[in-house]
Amino acid sequence: MKLRLLVVGRGSRELSDFEDRFIERLKPFAPCQVVELPEGRGKQVSQRKQEEAKQILKHAAAGFVLFDERGSLNSSKQWAGFLSTLSGDAQQDFVIGGADGISDEVRRAAGACWSLSKLTLPHQLVRAVVLEQLYRGFTIIQGHPYHRV
């Protein structure tokens, strides 16, 4: 299985070590790649969302999981359940939009729409949280002591 985290915009220097640590930890379970997509350059929010939507839909594989504030809230164990359904040669994409949010077109194309919190989070922080939760999900599947309840 291969994992890709498609993100609009660049990551944070302050969080890059954290991200790298979890990308490394994920390797025994599934290789994970972070793909940074360009932010929209339009003057209007709607233009920027449209430009970003084109990039997302160009790169994201069918069935991608979109992170959006309107999505369903899932526990770490539910993430693990989802990961356990993926086949050995599958590629699963996870999409994090830009600072202006996601277009309805992307939301409709997503295979699933998840929320991390009712809080509005900066997309740089969302990257870090998603990578950690992916690792946590795999450790739950393996019965590894990383996940404590």
- Residues within the annotated binding site for S-adenosyl-L-methionine? 97, 116-121
**Alpha carbons 116 and 24: distance in angstroms, whole number:** 22
Binding residues: 97, 116-121
SS3 41: coil
Strand order of the sheet with strand 91-96?
32-37, 2-8, 91-96, 65-73, 112-115
Token pair in block for residue 14: 């302050």
Residue 3, helix vs strand vs coil: strand
